[in-house]
Amino acid sequence: MNSKLKISRSELFIVAITLLLAAGAAASFGASNATTLPCLTNTAQVHLLSTAEAQRGYPVKLDGVVLYADPSNDDLVIQDQAGSIYVSGWTQLPGRFVSLKPGQLVGVTGISIPGDYAPCVAVTNLKVIGTGLIPPAKPVSYEDLASGFEDGQWVEVHGIVHSAIISQVWTAFSNQYLIIQLSVGGGELTVRVQNFAGADVNRLPDAEVQISGVSVPLFTTHRQLYDVVILVPSLVDMKVDLPQSANPFACPTVPINSLLQFSPTKRLGHRVKVAGTVLQQRQGEFFIKDNTEAICVYSSQNLPIAPGDRVEALGFPAHGSYSPELQDAVFRKVGTGPAPEATPVSAEQAGKGVYNDDLIQMDGQLLNYFRYAGEEILVLQQSNFVFNVHLPENVQTRTLETISKGSLLRVKGICEIELDKWVPSFQLLSQSPDDVVVLRPPAWWNLQHSLFVFGGVIVSFGAVLGAVIGHSRRRINAHLRERRQAEAQFNAVNKERNRLAGELHDSLEQSLVGIGMQLEAGLKTFPVAPRTALQHLELAQQMVDQSQKEVRRSIWDLRSQMLDNNDLPGALDAVGKQLSSGTDIHIMVQVLGPKRRLPEMIENHLLRITQEAVANAIKHGRPRRIEVQLIFEPASVAVTVRDDGCGFDVQGTSATRNGHFGLAGMHERAKALNGTIVVESGPGKGTIIIVEVPLKEKLRKETQ
């Protein structure tokens, strides 16, 4: 822990001399420095140690008064004349000093340690030596606490209680504490009271209090302060300066549109009462509206209310994303009524911010939908405005499966404005699938179906052409066998390309339209609303990822064009030149055995396996030389890819490469040919991949 210290120049001089002597002793005696470090006898000396010096384990001997002791968390803070210090590990000592109380005088023996935030003491021995006097608490501001200088100090804060609950804090004993959220000028603090017997938590909110306790930091793994908690020993250390009103709901009701407006007579920081009709209730929040405006009310109170109910709410006004909101509120139901009607508005009207937190109704065309964080999110467009509609995900009624993209929808929900550089954007918070109505399904004769029909015509034409070519091929004499093989390859490639064209037109068109819409919306909103533009770009990225997966599935077995104009050795040589272009890597292709043509399926799979192996070596292995051997045997054909790169741990490497072909793809292709694949590698040993495919008896005769 850290502290803001006031010590004399003479004390600083003594500490500096002590540290210099310690450093000199360490340099002189080397590994035996632990026996030569000076003993630190006050908290200031420990606090002045750097992290590296504290790690050396200086012997420490202190006498101090207990400020705070909590065995459940192993928290112990003591103070001497120079300041206060955190003592670690006291509950692990023999006898476990669970009875330590504030005001006891203790003697502590231990060593210095860096601590998680600031230097502290790891205790090796502790004894109670009497009774001491707890010094007066030091009045501090929120800025003082947030700076970290008051770390571990006995401080006094004044503020207004926003909330108070009795909650279980996870410890080895699962103890309960009184947790208070305290508004202190400039910020909000968490106060944790250890002994709270007799506390009436319902009477604390909105009270002005004075609290004395130990300031302790909340820090990151990089020892960086991000918040402060005040540890209070008991209710004795908390004084109520101005109690809560005897009847909180007896205060006058204020119009919602008057919140956070200037007034010379209003008490700043205290609760106000508003009343209105419930528009919608969600987890931890609800929306109400009076005859002036609507507002979002945040409350931990577990009281179900329905649209149309009349409620009164007491809460603390705060700045919302666009208009005021009520935080840490309590409320009561005072009547019932019919559910309010949604106000029909246009997207342009909603974007002006007039209907923030209000229940509205809008029409829009469905561009896309997805699920995120327990919600169903619909992406709609009206005119030039693109907006999202958030629905709680309902397992019984799955909204997304029942709506087609391109449908015209009518939705209602709470309009939520987000202000980015003074430019508002909006989204709708709907409550159930009943808030979404399909006005018109997408027209059947649209671009998607036109492309589908056109693709079908192309595929049919290709099939007819293939049949004609097949019929003609059967009439050619045996001496034209090579020509027949060329025609068969052309037919297969043509049908494969037509199939791929049909699939791409059918599966990607709607996604590309949605991506275009999101990018267009992002471009329009980026100059004025970067955060909103980022949401559109994130949606476009998700849609691109999905389209990418569909393209990969379509091209998985697509025949390489390199085999259209080359045999397998020529195609392997072309792959090597293509992949090594622009690099210093030398790729050598060698053919062993009598070269001959193989069936199309075998050639295509062997080419793909070699291509992936060479690409992986270049991308991950950083080799200088890659050797590719194509070995023709009478009963089999094999390919060996050998590189002199950095290699890898075969046992510790996943065979799946995020959906790409990778090792998993090579194994699948070898399996499709009833072949085997062996991968040999190790860190610093390069990599060897051997693929061997057997040839059936009939196939061996044909290829020979």
688 and 569 belong to one structural domain? yes
Residue type, 75: D
88 within a domain of the structure (yes/no): yes
Is there a domain that residue 163 lies in? yes
Q: Are residues 413 and 517 in the same domain?
A: no
Domain C-terminal end among 335, 353, 388: 335
Structure tokens that stand for 163 in this block: 């909330």
Q: Using only C-alpha atoms, what is the Rg of the chain?
A: 38
Per residue in 570-589, pLDDT tens?
A: 888 888 888 888 788 899 99
Q: Please report, for the domain that includes residue 25, its CATH number.
A: 2.40.50.200
549 pLDDT band, cuts 50/70/90, is: low
**Short-list 154, 153, 78, 73, CA closest to 110:** 78
Q: In 3D, which of 402, 398, 395, 341 has the Cα closest to residue 366? A: 402
Do 369 and 432 share a domain, yes or no?
A: yes
Which range marks the domain in which residue 493 is found?
447-555
Predicted local distance difference test score (pLDDT) of residue 106: 94
* Distance linking the first and last C-alpha atoms of the chain: 83
Residue 420 burial (C-beta neighbours within 10 Å; 0-12, 13-18, 19+): middle
Distance CA 50, CA 56 (A): 10
Q: What is the mean pLDDT of the chain?
A: 83
Residues 106 and 24 occupy one common structural domain: yes
Q: Higher confidence at residue 582 or residue 319? A: 319
Contact 691, 683 (CB under 8 A): no
The beta strands (E) that lie in 115-259 are given as 120-131, 138-139, 154-168, 176-184, 187-195, 208-219, 225-234, 238-242
Q: At 124, phi and psi to the nearest 5?
A: -115, -20
Same domain, 233 and 293: no
Residue 385 lies in a domain: yes
Distance CA 404, CA 410 (A): 14
Confidence band for 689, pLDDT divided at 50, 70 and 90: very high
The answer to whether 418 and 426 are in contact (CB under 8 A) is yes
Shared domain check, 47 and 71: yes
For 680: left if phi > 0, alpha if psi spans -120 to 50, otherwise beta; the answer is: beta
CA angle, 667 then 672 then 678, to 5°? 30
Across the range 318-326, mean pLDDT stands at: 91
475-532 pLDDT, tens per residue? 666 556 556 655 655 565 565 566 556 555 555 666 676 677 778 778 888 777 787 8
Q: Do 103 and 20 lie in a common domain?
A: yes
Q: Is there a domain that residue 351 lies in?
A: yes
Q: What is the domain-level CATH number for residue 668?
A: 3.30.565.10
Which of 536, 555, 574 corresponds to the end of one domain? Answer: 555
pTM (2 decimals)?
0.58
From CA 587, how far away is CA 577, in angstroms rounded? 7
Considering the domain architecture, whether residues 84 and 123 belong to the same structural domain is answered as: yes
**What's the token pair of residue 178?**
């009184």
Give me the phi and psi of 296, to 5 degrees please: -95, 130
The count of domains in the chain is 6
User: What is the C-alpha to C-alpha distance for residues 325 and 312, in angstroms, rounded to an integer?
Assistant: 14
Please indicate, yes or no, whether residues 612 and 665 belong to a single structural domain of this protein.
yes
Q: Is residue 22 part of a domain?
A: yes
Q: How far is CA 232 from CA 133, 186, 374, 441, 502, in A?
A: 17, 21, 38, 63, 71
- Categorize the per-residue pLDDT at 67 as very low, low, confident or very high, splitting at 50, 70 and 90: very high
Query: Rounded to whole angstroms, how far apart are CA atoms 373 and 361?
Result: 24
Q: What is the CATH number of the domain that holds 381?
A: 2.40.50.140
Q: Are 318 and 290 in contact (CB under 8 A)?
A: no
**pLDDT band with cut points at 50, 70 and 90 for residue 446:** low
User: Which of 418, 437, 456 corresponds to the end of one domain?
Assistant: 437
For residue 459, give Cα distances in angstroms to 352, 449, 454, 509.
Answer: 51, 15, 9, 18
Q: Looking at the domain assignment, is residue 503 inside a domain? A: yes
Q: In the predicted model, what is the mean pLDDT of residues 311-323? A: 93
Phi, psi of 235 (to 5 degrees): -65, -20
pLDDT tens-digit profile of 623-663? 999 999 999 998 999 999 999 999 888 876 654 444 344 78
472: in domain:
yes
3 occurs within a structural domain: no
Lowest mean pLDDT: which of 310-319, 343-352, 368-377, 507-516? Answer: 507-516
Residues 153 and 270 in one domain: no
659 shares its domain with 691: yes
d(CA 133, CA 64): 10
What is the model's pLDDT at position 98?
Answer: 63
Residues 214 and 280 in one domain: no
